[in-house]
Amino acid sequence: MAVSGIVMLLYLIAHMIGNLKIFAGRESFNGYSEWIRTIGEPAVPAQTTLTIIRIVLLVAVVAHFWAAVSLWRQAKQARPQRYVTKKPVAQSYASRTMRWGGVIVGLFIVYHILDLTVGAVNPAGTDASPYDRAVAGFSNPFVTAVYVIALILLGMHLRHGIWSATQTLGQSNKRREKTVNLFALVFSVVLIGGFLIVPFSVLFGLVD
């Protein structure tokens, strides 16, 4: 859970920073997209680096999902009879929504890939450039709303996930606990803010 999560987290950092290229204009954004597909050329064939990244991410997603399902099933078996009354004391909204939040984020990623990577469900279609696809998609308030909801869920997922991974890898202690939780919160807010700024800029006409 922790290791696969960290792999995806590292990718998200790069993804968020890459997205900000949209503010440098159409040429820069499309050029960046093209560059990802040609890293290492001509020493290696086109798309080699991208394919490696995709395989690593796919393995991480599968491992993360498998671990989550195991934990979920284990928890169900560990308490077959539920309490008539149960009052949560310490759990945060983030920790309570890890499972369903994770499923929703997973489904969102499928939609997101079909929308902006493949272009199959994008209004501008598969032939448009990445920049045009982003602008065409986010100009629709409903599309933007889907992205906003999914990204906020992802932010909460990361908020609990970063703390939980620190515990799982045995790197937390009483002294660090507050710092780890504060870092998790600030990191999640900054990362998700970085992602959200793009659809909002398109929606409000700052990027077109």
Partner 1 sequence: MTATREGATFASGTAADPAMAKHDMTLTLRVWRQKGPADKGRMVSYTVTDISPDMSFLEMLDVLNEQLIQAGDDPVAFDHDCREGICGMCGVMINGQAHGPEQTTTCQLHMRKFSDGDTIDVEPWRASAFPVIKDLAVDRRALDRIIQAGGYISAPTGTAPEAHSVLVPKKDADAAFDAATCIGCGACVAACPNASSMLFTAAKVSHLGLMPQGQPERNDRVVNMVAQQDREGFGGCTNIGECSAACPKGISMENISRLNHDLLGALRAGARPKS
Please identify, using beta-carbon distances, which residue of 88 and 205 lies nearer to partner 1.
Answer: 88
Please identify, using beta-carbon distances, which residue of 105 and 134 lies nearer to partner 1.
Answer: 105
Q: What angle do CA 8, 198, 9 make, to 5 degrees?
A: 10
Using DSSP's 3-state secondary structure scheme, residue 122 falls into coil
Q: Which residues bind partner 1 (CB under 8 A)?
A: 70-71, 74-75, 77-91, 95-96, 98, 160, 163-164, 166-174, 177
Alpha-carbon gap, residue 159 to 92, rounded angstroms: 10
Please identify, using beta-carbon distances, which residue of 42 and 80 lies nearer to partner 1.
Answer: 80
Please identify, using beta-carbon distances, which residue of 21 and 157 lies nearer to partner 1.
Answer: 157
Alpha-carbon gap, residue 195 to 206, rounded angstroms: 15
Using DSSP's 3-state secondary structure scheme, residue 79 falls into coil
Beta carbons within 8 Å of 163's beta carbon, 6+ residues apart: 172, 180, 181, 184
Please identify, using beta-carbon distances, which residue of 29 and 163 lies nearer to partner 1.
Answer: 163
Please identify, using beta-carbon distances, which residue of 172 and 201 lies nearer to partner 1.
Answer: 172
With 0-12 CB in 10 A as exposed, 13-18 as middle and 19+ as buried, what is 161? buried
Beta carbons within 8 Å of 129's beta carbon, 6+ residues apart: 26, 30, 33
40: left (phi over 0), alpha (psi -120 to 50) or beta: left
Cβ of residue 84: shortest distance to partner 1, in angstroms?
6
DSSP at 23: G
Cβ of residue 90: shortest distance to partner 1, in angstroms?
4
Nearest CA-CA partner of 123 in 146, 140, 109: 140
